[in-house]
Amino acid sequence: MKKQFFKPVYALSILAVSTGLILGSCKKDEEEPEPTPEPTPEMQSSTYNYEFNNGQVVASAAYDGMHMDNLTAMMEVEEVSANETMISVTLMNTVDGETYMIHAHDAADPANTPNGTPYDETPNGNVFTQMANGNGGDVTVSQTVSMSYSSIVNDYEGFFVVHDPLQTLSTVDISTYLIVGSFARTQAASNLSSMTYNYDFNTGQIDPSYAYSGSHATDLGATLKVQELADGTSRVSVSLMNSINGETYMVHAHDQADPMTTPNGTPYDETPNADVLAISIDGNGMTAYNNQISTMSYADLTSNYSAFFVVHDPLQAIDTTDPTTYVVLGVFAG
């Protein structure tokens, strides 16, 4: 089928070329004025910044996975010539040793795509399809494309996607995208809030009688981050500094409670609040991380919610009645 179409097109282009040649040779016969040299035009360039996927583009599909939510991207589009453009993408806060797939996905009518996506699931290699090797910091990858600067920043309709290297690549599930936004366009400010809280080792800050007793090194510290998501939910993230390699830390929110009403007189509910924070963190000898999404709003978690932030000691049996087994104990988001 395709070959049949090719021939007339080919014939047409030959016709066009020969017509051009004829016209060209006609012109040569005329007296031509001395051409004035055109000044080299200033090459254009633009920079676009992309936040982490907190649901800015698809509110129901904020990133949900193990990657830290401090990854951001910057795209630079630079005119190289009339029909060549260089696109460079820098990822900030990459994970060392992980390979990031960075793609342009053409926008498409979801009524016409196999899985109802508003984009073509196959990335457009003529615009941007690159892999970046994470190094723990910033990495940059570039692609020079045969399109004009204006066609990239004004005409091309597509999505800029950074896929998560920590889970199986999916081109359907937008919650696996670390970053998603319109390609080479200025992104609207999201105004999504976040707050980070720091916790030292449990030396009895809440109550001197609760000070940790055990063999864990006391240089362990924790940060708790609450990130507002576009659909009104929140991402609750925890980093443990100086974690012990090979140990698994249970990290919980325990709702505050009246000790008169709890079975063992604890000032908190012994069952962690799984809707806020009930995760385990695999110690790695340095800073270890995990997170979960809570249905509670950012405002509720940071202003109204009363709970304790607890990191249980992995070196002894979990005991929810004995706070001296807690390596970190503080007021949640306090």
Residues lying near Cu ion in the complex (CB under 5 A) are found at 252, 272, 310
Taking the complex as a whole, the smallest distance from the CB of residue 278 to Cu ion amounts, in Å, to 7
Q: Which of 151, 330, 138 is nearest to 224 (CA)?
A: 330
Taking the complex as a whole, the smallest distance from the CB of residue 147 to Cu ion amounts, in Å, to 55
Element (H, E) at 28: helix 2-29
Pairwise CA distance, residues 29 & 27, whole Å:
5
Taking the complex as a whole, the smallest distance from the CB of residue 298 to Cu ion amounts, in Å, to 23
- Are the beta carbons of 236 and 301 closer than 8 angstroms? yes
SS3 letters across 130-179: EEEECCCCCEEEEEEECCCHHHHHHHCCEEEEEECCCCCCCCCCHHHEEE
Q: Encode 310-325: b = buried (16+ Cβ within 10 Å), e = exposed.
A: bbbbbeeeeebeebbb
Given the complex with Cu ion, which of 132 and 310 has the nearer CB atom?
A: 310
- Give the chain's radius of gyration (CA, Å): 28
Q: Which of 33, 32, 13, 10 is nearest to 21 (CA)?
A: 13
Taking the complex as a whole, the smallest distance from the CB of residue 104 to Cu ion amounts, in Å, to 44
Element (H, E) at 2: helix 2-29
Query: Whose CB is nearest to Cu ion?
Result: 252
Given the complex with Cu ion, which of 84 and 322 has the nearer CB atom?
A: 322
Q: Quote the DSSP letter at residue 265.
A: -
Given the complex with Cu ion, which of 157 and 319 has the nearer CB atom?
A: 319
What is the separation of C-alpha 93 from the centre of its chain, rounded to a whole number of angstroms? 10
Taking the complex as a whole, the smallest distance from the CB of residue 279 to Cu ion amounts, in Å, to 10
Given the complex with Cu ion, which of 272 and 330 has the nearer CB atom?
A: 272
Taking the complex as a whole, the smallest distance from the CB of residue 310 to Cu ion amounts, in Å, to 5
Task: Read off φ and ψ for residue 114, nearest 5 degrees.
Answer: -55, -35
Taking the complex as a whole, the smallest distance from the CB of residue 268 to Cu ion amounts, in Å, to 9
Given the complex with Cu ion, which of 187 and 266 has the nearer CB atom?
A: 266
Given the complex with Cu ion, which of 107 and 250 has the nearer CB atom?
A: 250
Q: Quote the DSSP letter at residue 326.
A: E
Given the complex with Cu ion, which of 90 and 325 has the nearer CB atom?
A: 325
Taking the complex as a whole, the smallest distance from the CB of residue 252 to Cu ion amounts, in Å, to 3
Given the complex with Cu ion, which of 225 and 252 has the nearer CB atom?
A: 252
